[in-house]
Structure 1
Amino acid sequence: MSTKEKASRTLTKGRVGRPSKSVSEALDDTLLTLATQALRDANFGEISLDKLAARIGVSKPTIYRRFANRSALIEAMVEHEFSALLKVSAERETVSADAKFGAQSDPLDDLRDYAQALFDFSLRPSTANFVGFLHQEALLNPRIAQLRREWHVNVLNHLAESIRKVQASRRFAPSDPAALSTLLIDLMHTAISLYPLGFSQKDVLSGMTPVDYFQWRFSIFLTVASTRTN
């Protein structure tokens, strides 16, 4: 039985002994994935641990052993979503490096891969809903506001570092990497912000496919980054 299967069985059957570290980690991952899915389906409305346990079909003790309260659950979900984004980015960079047969990766390819990961992550309606939900939560919960800022700063810092590497290769003009990072995020996310307003993916992407839309937006960024100076 795989680790994920053991975690799923623990969720549905209840606790049987003390789970191993790997099963416990898989259990947390499975639980947070199910919680995010359930809350997305409920449009991130009122959250209570009791209702969540009933919705995803697990016992209340299973929830309460891991999350002491509503705020603890939300904090874990924020960290889980950001970890998922970093994992996607790392997987893209690994594939990119493997494709070069061990050669040093191209910094522009790495930047494009990370921007693609950000775009794919943001394209999910659940992400837009979750970000909107966090905005509301942050108004009342300082810890959530801090996590949201950390998430944004981490994304910006990763982009800025990738942009510096491209600038070092002399394919981007000298410019402020932080400003370019903000521009790239805006280009990737502007249309995605329409999701909460009820627009369809076709409308959000101006009738383009996700691939064509990303390439169009990234080409705009490349034009600016190649010509802009401080």
Structure 2
Amino acid sequence: MSGKPTKRGLGRPTKSEAKALDAHVLDEALALFGSAGFAAVSVESIALRCGVGKNTIYRRYPDKEALFKAAVDREITRLNELGQELSQHVSDPLEAIRLTVQQMSKVLHEPQVIQMMRLLVAEGHRFPHLAEDMDRWLTALFKRLDALIEDATASGRMPKRPVKAVREALFTLFAAPSLNRLILDDQSLNISDAEFDLRWNLFVGGAAASMDPS
């Protein structure tokens, strides 16, 4: 999250100040929607949480629905932008898979992403295009993983197995804990760097153990 913008004097805000305020409003709106739900939140309550007047919000968003859409859409856009070039310059396809699932794990455990997913579960029927945008992000992630798995298989770094089964195993190992946290709201379900390494070694060890020795 961007944190609360610094207080400023009178006069028109600079571009950087306006950008910081925009980010702060979306951060606080996402947190409030996530904790209280869409119906219980008002523009006034968001303005109070942000420490600004409600007209500051209305100058940016015509109503609560537009603010909700902007807050969730920003997170989906950020997910789409993350890691687009992460594995492009990695020659070892198995290492490229590791980097991709490591980033996926870290992103899916971020508090604002957890909040966004909760909102999509609770309010997706109100905003179906946002749920569709999230589905597109997941589809793109799956396609990227599938291509990397095929490269790792072709290069002999992994045994030949159904690509979907390998991808689902990766998703279970590295993404399922975030889904459990989504349901249980338990911070202990976060994957530490040490636990990520343990899970990755289990995955690689299982793959290596099933390699055809011939």
TM over 0.5: yes
Alpha carbons of structure 1 residues 133 and 112: separation in structure 2 relative to 1, 3 Å:
same
- Percent identical: 24
Cα shift at 1:134? 0.9
Aligned partners of 2:32 and 2:41 also within 8 Å? no
* 1:212 counterpart = 2:190: no
Q: Contact 1:53–1:63 (CA<8 Å) still a contact in 2?
A: yes
Of 136, 141, 145, 2:127 maps to 141
Residue 13 of structure 1 and its aligned partner are, at CA, apart by 6.4
Q: 1:156 to 1:75 in 2, by over 3 A?
A: farther
The 5-angstrom pairing of residues 194-213 of structure 1 reads 194-198=180-184, 200-202=186-188, 204=189, 210-213=192-195
1:145 CA drift (Å) = 2.5
Larger relative helix fraction: 1
Task: Find 1:63's aligned residue among 57, 64, 67.
Answer: 57
- TM-score, structure 1 as length reference: 0.68
Gaps of 5+ in 1: 98-103
Partners of 2:180 and 2:80 in 1: how far apart? 24
What is the aligned residue count? 209
Distance 2:99 2:79 in 1: 12
How far the C-alpha of 1:90 sits from its partner, in A, is 5.8
Aligned to 2:59, the other structure's residue is in SS state: helix
Hey, what's the Cα distance between the residues in 2 that align with 1:79 and 1:121?
Answer: 15
CA RMSD of aligned residues (A): 3.8
User: CA offsets per residue over residues 108-163 of structure 1, 9 Å max, x none?
Assistant: 22221221111122223443343122111112332222223223223222322333
Instruction: Give CA deviations for 1:38-96 in whole Å, capped at 9, x if unaligned.
Output: 445x35463332221221112323322333333332332233223444565369x39x9
Higher relative contact order (CA 8 A, sep 6+): 2
Matches within 5 A, 1:46-195: 46-85=40-79, 89=83, 93=86, 105-195=91-181
**Structure 2 residues without counterparts, runs of 5 or longer:** none
- Change beyond 3 A, Cα 1:145–1:123: closer
Cα separation, 2, equivalents of 1:75 and 1:179: 34
CA deviation vs aligned residue, 1:185-208 (integer Å, no higher than 9, x gap): 222222333324546333x36xxx
Query: 1:16 aligned to 2:8?
Result: no
